[in-house]
Chain A
Amino acid sequence: MSARDAAPADVDAPVVDVRTRRGLTLSELVLLTVLAAVFGFLYWALVQAWGALQLAMGPFGDLAQHVLVGGWMVVAPLALYIVRKPGVGAVVELAAALVEVAFLASPVGPMLLVVGLVQGAGAELAFTLTRYRRYGWWVFVLSGVTAAVASTLLGMVRSGWHLQDLFALRVALQLVSGVVLCGLLARVLGDALVRTGVLDETALGRAWRARVARDAAAPARATGAAGDGAPA
């Protein structure tokens, strides 16, 4: 059953599937850069909201960043959930930061690139530990925690948070925000997006379609949820 047996008369070369390529495909690269652009834009909008919240909180304005910090890291676990390849979390977070700095002129300045890379790598750590194979809820919770820890360590180096008052409160706020606004939100967002069909040609889309097909094939479980988002 060699390929040569199957070769038609008009072609001599063996039949080789060209789809098998390692690394990121062009579709994945575009998906990731566009995610970075959209989230860079949303992050930038969040920075404007942060400014307002800081002013509203007066002398405690500095704490506002801990409430919102998870929101600035959400694209890393989302990208990992969709593409499921090593490195994409850190890179997409870095690219989102680049969009904020280079194209939207973020007031945080170029240090944001470092922040983005550290936060993205932090969020990715949870997926690295599970070897990019598990995407259950708890992995996303863990991702929120690792992202918050990385971000806190960076804050200690950059701004000496551990030398200031309220360090314990800062850490607690960072953790809660990381778990809710980064980890869990990424999973919720990914699940909603895959239902719309725009992610059909991604690892997440393939996994989802396989599950829908399995559910539909098992009559005992074929409830509303199974037929639910079946391609129309």
Chain B
Amino acid sequence: MSAAPAGASPDGRAAPRARRTALARRDPTVVLATLLVVSLLLLVPVDPWTPLTLLVLTVAAARAAAVPWSTLARGLASFGPFALSVLAVNLVTRPGAPVARVAGLTVTDVGVLVGTGLALRTVLVGTLAVVVAASLDPVRLVASLHRHARLGARGAAALLAAHRVLEQLPARWVAVRQAQAARLPGPRPTRAGALPTSPDLLVRAAFTLLVVTLRQAQQMAVTLETRGVGSGPRTVHRPARLGAGDAVLAAVAVGTTVVVGAVLWRLGLLETWASVGG
């Protein structure tokens, strides 16, 4: 039981990884739109303090909403390289007062400030995306898009079919690579389970994956037609309704971002492209 895959209980019940967090009860369209607005607002500050404060608040809120540490850690780990790269390039490409020399390149004070700021912003936006992705229920998202974003019945059905395909992609990718590895001539692989990683074989595997998936798509489209998709006005079994909670979520998220920015500005810590002369 200990090693059951994340998101599904050991007996494979539909467990609603999505129903575990408080965020999952909110309307998915509102959640996505709020995320978009917040990350647009985050384009303004370039200092490290704003994203750092918001990152701390995000992690605290996520924990309060029962998002597991493992989800957060996985997010942080995958954004590490990006953050480091953003930091590295900004350290040495921004004009400003030199503070150090590394391998013939000049590190400037503006570079340190902006680089740390942008790196932290990457981590913050990534963490927000991970928290949201972990609480999105695809069926509710599509039902909500259908109701609030004028997505048609056929478009909604197509999106859900694509979600099924996406769900199967990782397993299918492994299956195709195993199947193709079995075609290799020569001695047994030295390490059992090691799949070949030559670019040639990876490209062939990707192509086969694409063909197999497109064939499945065509069959799914026929299935949807024979289930009456688009044959007239449809009903919705689990309707998406906007509630007060959705307004609170949007107001709190956007409000917090603005307030943090305003406070730091009063403290003289907020920097923008204009103030750093970038």
Contact = CB atoms under 8 A, between A and B. Distances in A.
Contacts of A36: 162
Contacts of B215: 198
Given A109-B126, A110-B36, A199-B214, A102 B136 contact: yes
A83 to B, nearest CB: 12
Interface residues of A, number: 51
A27 B85 contact: no
Interface of A: 26-27, 29-38, 40-42, 48, 51-52, 54-55, 58-62, 95, 99, 101-111, 113, 158, 160, 163-165, 189, 192-193, 196, 198-199, 201
B158 A33 contact: yes
Contacts, number: 158
A105 B75 contact: yes
Interface stretch (B56-64, B179-187, B222-230, B240-248): B222-230
Nearest to B33: A110
Nearest to B118: A159
Contacts of B155: 29
A110 B166 contact: no
Main secondary structure of the interface of B (DSSP, over half): helix
Given A27-B221, A107-B126, A62 B85 contact: yes
Given A26-B158, A27-B222, A34-B162, 20 more contacts: A26-B225, A26-B229, A29-B158, A30-B158, A33-B158, A33-B161, A33-B162, A34-B161, A34-B217, A55-B84, A61-B88, A62-B89, A101-B133, A103-B166, A105-B75, A107-B126, A109-B39, A192-B207, A193-B211, A199-B214
Contacts of B222: 27
